[in-house]
Structure 1
């Protein structure tokens, strides 16, 4: 079955097989958060993006092959409810941007803009997107045999950037980072995977950038 990225709380995961990486997307409740399990196809090493909730379900998804790393995209609680249990059960290292580390329930290692996080033989670039929270990050996988894949947390969705609580300074910071660090750097075919809801491509969203900036959210 072709990957669509459409998942619902309690429903089956959506699986996307790339040449070197398998991406498994699942929605967990009660806030319909997306969690993404990445698996290196040559080594079997696994990385989880956002242990958002339903730790037993995430642990079942991880399976017997273990988990090397959990990356939390930002400090908001709905993205880390399952973190402590997942880390305790798997021994995975927990990573978050330094500016959001104080908001998490366990001790973590910290990330900065431009860091590389490995999952087996695959490399993920850390992109700091300030605004939704001080330390929000996206993770970029540049597939050597295909299109770029971008995991955006709550900083970019189909239809707009993440919530900045009607704060003009935070919105300006986020729209600037999203435009310059994502849209200006990456091609239209870049597929992005947000923290909630459906996926999209940068090309599908690019024409809306002026509208987002003008409306202020």
Structure 2
């Protein structure tokens, strides 16, 4: 029999980070994806009555790891970190790189190296569960800022998401949805699907909620950075149709930096 679907909870940490717990209901094993802040993660665990067994780190930036030490002290969870993060992640018990597998009870994820936002960034893809934890690589309606690479490197990382099934749930590391939406509308104003998603995001924000998770199908239809191969996005950055999508992406990312 197939494994039961994972239980997933997403909640706000700090001002705009997203904390996530994923639990295997059969074994009770539970992982946090990053620990931006200890208190909200511990509160979510207490509210659900879940026991944390693992912490899966996407990258070494402080706003994704600063709560790890306190949570490990409270729970004894094992920390898995990108090998390229080195000693920057406190208490790491295991280091992973491209193609490695991690398990949370009966749930299994493949590790993708997805550099661009930073050199050590990884993504955790739970293929059978239809879930991907993209950290600061892919956001709802946006993508991460390029900090340690040529923009083409981040584009190559984003391309890895495109073949995934449309129903794949995408959990990103920040709630930047409304600011991303403003840029997306500027870059792709004639996109009816985008306008509908922005309206949905605005309605959720009024209720104190956020448009995370997204789905890959929605992102392919509305996220300008995943749509760099579309003629409309080339035109938006004054490039001819048929321009290499990597060049279109680079121009879009530069525009977003100034937006």
TM-score > 0.5, shorter chain as reference = yes
How many Å apart are 1:57 and its aligned residue?
Answer: 3.1
Q: Are the aligned partners of 1:101 and 1:108 in contact in 2 as well (CA < 8 Å)?
A: no
How many Å apart are 1:103 and its aligned residue?
Answer: 2.2
In structure 1, distance between residues paired with 2:109 and 2:215: 18
Q: CA RMSD in A?
A: 2.0
In structure 2, distance between residues paired with 1:119 and 1:106: 18
Unaligned 5+ segments in structure 1 are 1-17
1:206 maps to what in 2? 220
Does residue 182 of the first structure (1) align with residue 161 of the second (2)? yes
Q: Are the aligned partners of 2:117 and 2:154 in contact in 1 as well (CA < 8 Å)?
A: yes
What secondary structure sits across from 2:23 in the alignment? strand
* Equivalent residue in structure 2 for 1:150, among 102, 110, 132: 132
Q: Are the aligned partners of 1:45 and 1:68 in contact in 2 as well (CA < 8 Å)?
A: yes
Q: Are the aligned partners of 2:115 and 2:153 in contact in 1 as well (CA < 8 Å)?
A: yes
Matched ranges for 1:126-165 at <5 A: 126-143=111-128, 148-165=130-147
* Equivalent residue in structure 2 for 1:56, among 34, 39, 46: 39
Unaligned 5+ segments in structure 2 are 176-210, 234-247, 254-259
2:243 maps to what in 1? none
Does residue 80 of the first structure (1) align with residue 116 of the second (2)? no
Which of structure 1's runs of 4+ aligned residues deviate more than 4 A?
none
In structure 2, distance between residues paired with 1:161 and 1:57: 24
Does residue 110 of the first structure (1) align with residue 95 of the second (2)? yes
1:23 maps to what in 2? 8
Between Structure 1 and Structure 2, whose CA radius of gyration is higher? 2
In structure 2, distance between residues paired with 1:176 and 1:156: 12
How many Å apart are 1:106 and its aligned residue?
Answer: 3.4
How many Å apart are 1:45 and its aligned residue?
Answer: 0.9
Matched ranges for 1:159-174 at <5 A: 159-165=141-147, 169-174=149-154
Which of the two has greater strand per residue? 1
Q: 1:94-137: CA deviations, max 9, x gaps?
A: 11111113322334421111111111111111111011111111
In structure 1, distance between residues paired with 2:250 and 2:150: 15
Number of equivalences: 191
Which of the two has greater helix per residue? 2
